[in-house]
Amino acid sequence: MKADPTMMERQGRDRSSSSRITNISNTSNKTAAAAQPRRRPSRPHQQQQQQQQQLRHASPITITITIVMATAASVALALALVLSIAVPSAAAPQRTTSTTTTSYPLTFIFGPWLNTGEQPTDVDSPAQWNKRTGRNAPAFQLRMSVPAWSGEPQVLQVADWDDGTDAAVFMTVYADSPAYVWPTEADLTVMAQKLQNISTSTGRTVYLRYLPEMDGSWMNYGAQPTELVANWKIMASVVRSVAPDVQIVWSPNFDVQNRGGAAFWPGEENVDWVGTSQYWKSSQMGYPGNAPVTAGYFAKEIDYVYQNFAVVYNKPFVLSEASYAWEEALQGNFTDTVSWVDAQKEYWRQVFDTASSGAYPLFKMAYVFEYKKIEDSMYRDFRVSWNSAVLDGFQTTLESLIAAGNLATAGDWIAQKVLVVVVRRPRRLRSTSSSTAVPTTSAPVSTKSAAAGPRWAGWKELFATVALVAVSVSAVVLA
């Protein structure tokens, strides 16, 4: 079959036209592409967008872990900072012994010395005292002997106290063994171990009133200043080493100036508190019966010990034992010129007003001798809580302290210890060969925190490490 020339010519023109159109299109695309600048991908920008997208889509678990770790880091850093301020570093030079002072409560401590078994009648206990007075005493006093011996009065041991509080222990220690007068270093070590065990096992603050009224000839160790000072220094060395939490109380009779005064002072580095005993005994003052306490009597009687030892050496002051001695004849009657209620009320009013007056700012603690016993061929009743009328009158004498918010109760000790350690931090002193005393503050400051330095030394580093780990974990989780 012959091809149609006209048809072939038309097909050729169509193919030629299609080819020209294709070439024009390709040329146009190449020209447009060449006219546009070449773009490079922005990798940092892309990475930032990816990180933001990851954070927006982070799981709740990741967010929670990050928050917890950041909080842990903040708490750990805060604890490390507090410890670095409050607790001396184990490697830091310690204060010289001449600057040793002690902590004292921020409020006034008043407690009783109870008959918890020393006498067979009217046996008492901390819980009974708290119930009678309607207030939890912040401290109680009791006694022990060094060395211990078979005839030692048996009293209620601290482990058996029934108060259920954190009340402090004011331990009066006598050297009253008939075998020998002065305790040996071995005796003192046993004593210190007992006191430290009380502190660690019960959590109570412990005071050691060692060989009280040492100036008096009525004590078998009394009126021997040279021997007393030598033995005291041994005791202090043992206690500082074996029982670092125990505070040492030096407590002569109120009129020690009549028997040698400073000759009995064992050195400020061996004493934490200064104290004294003080009573009103009408018969010893020439009265035919119980007489009212004279105006200004109490402050005058404590002034020598307070000014010459507490003030001079910047030590807190404690009235170690005190009361009005209500005297009763074994036979017959005395000629009284005051009632029992008014006698006790006036005596303790003077005590607490002195503590509140501001004239004796180092006066921080007092103990009533809550006993009735035979002395000088008569009954003397020192108690303030066994007769309801006497107790009511006594309670009113506390008003000056209560009104000032200055009377402590059991339970205050934890807060007081923290405030003493943190707020009243002593200045650190460099080691020096000079024996000159350098006061660390204008008021007594805790040695307990210094003694506890080794115990806490590793905690600062531990908290700092915890903070570092917490921050690292947070970074890993976020990454």
Mean pLDDT of 58-82: 66
Q: What is the pLDDT of residue 16?
A: 47
Other CB atoms within 10 A of residue 12 CB? 10
Is residue 398 over pLDDT 60? yes
Mean pLDDT of 230-249: 98
Is residue 282 over pLDDT 80? yes
Q: What is the pLDDT of residue 160?
A: 95
pLDDT digits (tens, 9 = 90+) for 41-55: 445 555 555 555 555
Of 88-102, 360-374, 394-408, which range is least confident?
88-102
Q: What is the pLDDT of residue 459?
A: 55
Nearest-angstrom CA–CA distance, 103 and 85: 17
At residue 56 the predicted structure's pLDDT band, cuts being 50, 70 and 90, is low
Is residue 429 over pLDDT 70? no
Other CB atoms within 10 A of residue 257 CB? 14
H or E, element range at 266: none
Is residue 298 over pLDDT 90? yes
Q: What is the pLDDT of residue 423?
A: 36
Mean pLDDT of 131-154: 95
Nearest-angstrom CA–CA distance, 420 and 442: 13
DSSP 395-430: HHHTHHHHHTT-B--TT-HHHHHHHHHHHTPPPP--
Nearest-angstrom CA–CA distance, 360 and 205: 24
Q: What is the pLDDT of residue 214?
A: 97
Question: What is the per-residue burial (b if ≥16 Cβ within 10 Å, else e) of 435-463?
Answer: eeeeebeeebbbbbbbbbbeeebeebeeb
- pTM score: 0.68
What whole-number percentage of the chain has pLDDT above 70?
64
Q: What is the pLDDT of residue 268?
A: 97
| Residues 256/264, Cβ–Cβ less than 8 Å | yes
> What is the signed CA dihedral for 83, 84, 89, 91, rounded to 10 degrees?
140
Other CB atoms within 10 A of residue 368 CB? 26
Nearest-angstrom CA–CA distance, 445 and 466: 31
Is residue 348 over pLDDT 60? yes
Q: Is 379 exposed, middle or buried (0-12, 13-18, 19+ CB in 10 A)?
A: middle
pLDDT digits (tens, 9 = 90+) for 262-271: 999 999 999 9
Mean pLDDT of 114-123: 93
pLDDT digits (tens, 9 = 90+) for 85-113: 544 443 333 333 334 445 556 789 999 99
Q: What is the pLDDT of residue 464?
A: 57
